[in-house]
Amino acid sequence: MKGGLRGAVAFAAALVVLLTACAGSSKVQTLVPGVLRVGSSLDFKPFEYFQAQPGRAKVLKGFDVELVQDMANRLDLYVRWVDSDFATIFNSLASNNLDMVAAATTITPTREQTVNFSNPYFLANQSLTVNVGKTPDITSTDNLGAGDIVAVQNGSTGASWAQENLVPQGVQLKRFNLTTDMFTELDAGTVTGVIDDEPASRAVVADMPNLKVVQVIDTGEHYGFAVSKSNGDLLRAANSALDQIMADGTYAKIFTRFFPGQEVPAQFQG
Ligand code: ARG
């Protein structure tokens, strides 16, 4: 009995040593060794979102979620998702509360002053979504003016676009922290439209019959994973993992799962 207990203690100790070794075995340095702390705004189907499961805990899903998981596997890192406020997410990364941001984030010159971006991994445009039950006549942003309220996510490229293009024509903007709330309000009729990334809006309207994407706004945005400027090694490692993911067909497999029927853009095929 005593021997058995001693054996169990020794085994447990060995296990701790082994697990510690595994956790620290990655060659890439992160804030907590072996862990990739990834900030995101987990409100953005099909890129990062929670899926409810009857009788079970909701699960985190999405295109970004799978790409990051695959990237982390290749770098021997354990992923820890940190649900964050989108408007402050780049500052949070720059002040080293996070190792990476994976939130369908567009690479922009302004953001590049604060953080580094990986090579592009997705292309997207903006879009206008309206409530066709309440405003069947609105088919483009040209139909919007004084008296109209348009919902945008605080800190997003959609918010900047709307500020530049819609505010001058008299439209009022309503800023939200969560994109999901914008569509709930559009459904209720308290806002006239939503400006948001086209693929995300299309995913939402698929489950909301009153809502429709009526206009694609050609902004030609490239998504990149953001990394702190103080971790150049992680940026290089992330880019080389991303190269492999595109080259060996993993990217195409994940893309097809979240965007069925769409062709994988040539630039993301190995
Ligand atoms: N692509 C847009 C941007 O970078 C929107 C991203 C929103 N992401 C999210 N997870 N809510 O500003």
Residue nearest to atom 12 of ligand 1 (CA): 156
Residue 16 included in any domain:
no
> Six-digit token pair at 188?
């209720």
Is 117 part of any domain? yes
Residue 86, ligand 1, Cβ within 6 A: yes
Angle, helices 232-247/63-74, rounded to nearest 10 degrees: 110
Are the beta carbons of 59 and 51 closer than 8 angstroms? yes
Ligand 1 mutation target, pool 83, 105, 129, most atoms within 8 A of CB:
105
Q: How far is the CA of 129 from the centre of ligand 1 (A)?
A: 16
Distances (CA, A) of 115 to 56, 65, 107, 178, 232: 37, 20, 10, 22, 11
With a 6 Å cutoff on the Cβ, whether 48 touches ligand 1 is yes
In terms of domains, do 65 and 178 share one?
A: no
* Gap from CA of 78 to ligand 1 centroid (Å): 24
CA-angle at 99, arms to 58 and 160, nearest 5°: 80
Ramachandran bin of 249, using left for φ above 0, alpha for ψ from -120 to 50, beta for the remaining angles: left
- Give me 10's structure tokens: 């020794």
Residue 54 CA to ligand 1 centre (angstroms): 28
213 and 228, same structural domain?
Answer: no
Residue 131 lies in a domain: yes
Specify the residue for token string 């402050």. 88
Biggest CA-to-CA distance, the chain: 82
Residues 211 and 170 in one domain: yes
231 located within any domain? yes
38 lines ligand 1 (CB under 6 A): no
How many domains are contained in the chain? Answer: 2
Q: Are residues 114 and 130 in the same domain?
A: no
pLDDT at position 151 over 90: yes
CA distance 106 to 225: 9
Ligand 1 atom with the shortest distance to the CA of 106: 4
The pLDDT of residue 25 is 72
The reply to whether 106 and 32 lie within a common domain is yes
Mean pLDDT of the chain: 94
Assess whether the C-beta atom of 156 lies below 6 angstroms from ligand 1: yes
Cα dist. 229→30, 221, 247 in Å? 13, 22, 26
Report whether residue 103 contacts ligand 1, using a CB cutoff of 6 Å.
yes
Q: Read off the pTM.
A: 0.91
pLDDT of residue 99: 98
> What percentage of the chain has pLDDT greater than the value 70?
91
In this structure, what are the phi and psi dihedrals at residue 21, rounded to the nearest 5 degrees?
-60, -40
Ligand 1 touching residue 201 (CB < 6 A): no
Does residue 100 sit in the same domain as residue 67? yes
Residue 170: the pLDDT is 98
Closest atom of ligand 1 to CA, residue 40: 10
9 in a structural domain? no
The answer to whether the beta carbons of residues 154 and 86 sit under 8 Å apart is yes
**Both structure tokens of 87:** 């408007």
Tens of pLDDT, residues 31-52:
999 999 999 999 999 999 999 9
Domain span at residue 216? 125-221
Beta bridge partners of 222: 123
Query: What CATH number did the domain enclosing 168 receive?
Result: 3.40.190.10
196 lines ligand 1 (CB under 6 A): no
Same domain, 117 and 237: yes
Task: Note whether 57 and 35 are same-domain residues.
Answer: yes
Provide the 8-state DSSP code for 48. B
CA distance 238 to 28: 10
Residue ending a domain, among 205, 221, 237, is 221
Q: Is the CB of 258 under 6 A from ligand 1?
A: no
**Whole-angstrom Cα distance, residue 159 to residue 238?**
28
Element (H, E) at 200: helix 198-205
Q: Please check whether residues 106 and 172 belong to one and the same domain.
A: no
82 inside domain: yes
In a domain, 3, yes or no: no
| Ligand 1 neighbour 179 (Cβ under 6 A) | yes
Task: Kindly report, residue by residue over 181-192, the tens digit of the pLDDT.
Answer: 999 999 999 999
How many whole angstroms from 85 Cα to the centroid of ligand 1?
11
The answer on 198 and 87 residing in a single domain is no
Q: Is 157 in the pocket of ligand 1 (CB under 6 A)?
A: yes
Query: Does residue 192 sit in the same domain as residue 210?
Result: yes
Q: What is the pLDDT of residues 164-181, one digit of tens each?
A: 999 999 999 999 999 999
134 phi and psi, to 5 degrees?
-90, -35
* Mean pLDDT, residues 85-89: 98
- What does the pLDDT average to over 252-264? 97
Residue 34 and residue 101 in one domain: yes
Q: What length does the chain have?
A: 270
**Would you say residue 19 lies in a domain?**
no
Mean pLDDT of 138-163: 98
